[in-house]
């Protein structure tokens, strides 16, 4: 391992000396937070597929591309703004900026250009409701979550989580040109899922966040209070996850899976509550990703026949 | 190594730009066909 990855301050010095000249294409891709992007894209596709209409395949691909690039742009701008705390935390100190592989200004420019480009293309090629929602998600993530809430309140990821919940609404709006109850319920599903997902991570990374001065709930209120909150959120999430089935945008298989997966999510929260070690929190964090992935995969597979024209229109306002 | 990285970045940028132009052509054709 090189010095620049073990000593972040050395990384900053290297960046100042023009280290970006040696930046690899992969470093720029890393700025886009590809793992976060994949879940965002997946939930965006679910919103598109669940909508009671369809887009030309090329336009659908453009909409997905815009959602992906918009999410990536948010990630790049977030990495630019958070480069000081990223350098302190062991989870993030090897990111391209703190490691000195990309200059901060270059990352910021990259993010802003992609943000404007994705919103502009979405608006011009698809429709301006989808473009506006994409812009709102990016602006919310950058200004409300990253710049305002993240360093100020333990409710940072509760309110900030709204940004990550936008994609199903964007996907739906791209296809239909309007919003309805169903995509709003998909928004709520991700919104209520985010706190237990993120706090599971924060529980076993609490030392990192404390070192960087980020007031995550386990740092400010302690592990026990966090675990109680996580349990409450998983209980509230349970009926919300059933809404797509109740509204008719997902079938019985989804409904059954939402009950089983929701039950396991609650059990995971109980297990975290009873466990004095980090083991259950790590397991719950991994399961939370699988939970959301499977629910959206089932919405997509339930609706796939509809894309071929063999399914009646969904339940709408 | 730096030259190699720079060349790779330039090629990636070129591919992205060509892809973008092709995409705009595609969108225009699809939109003009009434979709």
Q: Each residue of A260-313: pLDDT tens digit? A: 999 999 999 999 999 999 999 999 999 999 999 999 999 999 877 666 554 444
Q: Is A110 on the interface with B (CB under 8 A)?
A: no
Smallest CA–CA distance from B4 into chain A, residue: A22
> What local confidence, expressed as pLDDT, does residue B35 receive?
82
The rounded distance, in Å, linking the Cα atoms of A177 and A156 is 31
> What local confidence, expressed as pLDDT, does residue B2 receive?
66
Q: Of A106, A95, A85, A93, which Cα lies nearest the Cα of A31?
A: A95
> What local confidence, expressed as pLDDT, does residue B34 receive?
87
A58 pLDDT tier (thresholds 50, 70, 90): very high
Smallest CA–CA distance from A175 into chain B, residue: B35
How far is CA A276 from its chain centroid?
Answer: 28
Cβ of A298: how many Cβ atoms within 10 Å? 22
Q: Is A21 on the interface with B (CB under 8 A)?
A: yes
* A149-161: average pLDDT: 95
Smallest CA–CA distance from B35 into chain A, residue: A56
Please report, in angstroms and rounded to a whole number, the separation of the first and last CA atoms in chain A. 57
Q: Is residue A11 pLDDT above 80, yes or no?
A: no
Q: Which helix (H) or strand (E) holds A297?
A: helix A279-307
Cβ of A198: how many Cβ atoms within 10 Å? 21
Which tokens sit at A317? 């306002």
By CB neighbour count within 10 A (0-12 exposed, 13-18 middle, 19+ buried), where does A102 fall? buried
The rounded distance, in Å, linking the Cα atoms of A138 and A111 is 10
Q: Is the dihedral of CA A167, A173, A178, A183 positive or negative?
A: negative
Q: Is residue A317 pLDDT above 70, yes or no?
A: no
**Which chain A positions have a beta carbon within 8 Å of B1's beta carbon?**
22
Q: Name the phi and psi angles at A106, rounded to 5.
A: -65, -40
Nearest neighbour of A21 by CB, restricted to B6, B12, B30: B6
Cα separations (Å) of A210 from A117, A145, A214, A220, A283? Answer: 36, 18, 6, 9, 22
* A156-184: average pLDDT: 96
3-state secondary structure of A314: coil
Q: Is A25 on the interface with B (CB under 8 A)?
A: yes
Q: Is A58 on the interface with B (CB under 8 A)?
A: yes
Q: Is A24 on the interface with B (CB under 8 A)?
A: yes
> What local confidence, expressed as pLDDT, does residue A305 receive?
67
Interchain CB distance below 8 Å, A58 and B26: yes
């Amino acid at each position: 391992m090189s010095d620049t990855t073990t000593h972040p301050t050395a990384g900053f010095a290297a960046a100042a000396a023009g280290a970006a000249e040696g930046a690899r294409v992969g470093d720029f891709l890393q700025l886009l937070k590809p793992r976060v992007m994949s879940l965002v894209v997946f939930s965006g596709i679910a919103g598109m597929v669940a909508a009671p209409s369809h887009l030309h395949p090329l336009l659908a691909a453009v909409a997905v591309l815009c959602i992906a690039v918009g999410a990536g742009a948010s990630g790049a701008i977030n990495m630019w703004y958070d480069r000081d705390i990223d350098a302190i935390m062991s989870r993030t100190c090897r990111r391209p900026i703190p490691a000195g592989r990309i200059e901060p200004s270059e990352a910021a420019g990259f993010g802003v250009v992609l943000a404007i480009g994705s919103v502009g293309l979405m608006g011009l090629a698809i429709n301006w409701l989808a473009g506006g929602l994409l812009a709102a998600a990016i602006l919310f993530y950058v200004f409300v979550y990253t710049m305002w809430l993240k360093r100020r309140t333990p409710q940072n990821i509760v309110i900030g989580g709204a940004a990550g919940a936008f994609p199903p609404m964007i996907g739906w709006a791209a296809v239909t040109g309007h919003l309805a109850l169903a995509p709003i319920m998909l928004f709520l599903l991700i919104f209520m899922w985010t706190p237990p997902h993120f706090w599971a991570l924060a529980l076993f990374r609490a030392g990192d966040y404390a070192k960087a001065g980020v007031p995550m709930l386990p740092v400010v209120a302690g592990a026990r209070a966090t675990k109680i909150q996580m349990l409450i959120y998983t209980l509230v999430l349970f009926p919300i996850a059933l809404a797509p089935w109740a509204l008719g945008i997902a079938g019985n298989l989804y409904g059954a899976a939402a009950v089983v997966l929701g039950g396991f999510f609650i059990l995971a929260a109980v297990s975290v509550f009873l466990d004095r070690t980090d083991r259950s929190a790590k397991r719950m964090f991994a399961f939370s990703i699988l939970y959301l992935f499977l629910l959206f995969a089932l919405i997509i597979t339930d609706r796939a026949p509809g894309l071929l024209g063999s399914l009646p229109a969904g339940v709408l306002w | 190594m730096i030259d190699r990285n720079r060349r790779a970045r330039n090629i990636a940028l070129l591919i992205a730009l060509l892809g973008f132009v092709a995409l705009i052509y595609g969108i225009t054709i699809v939109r003009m066909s009434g979709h």
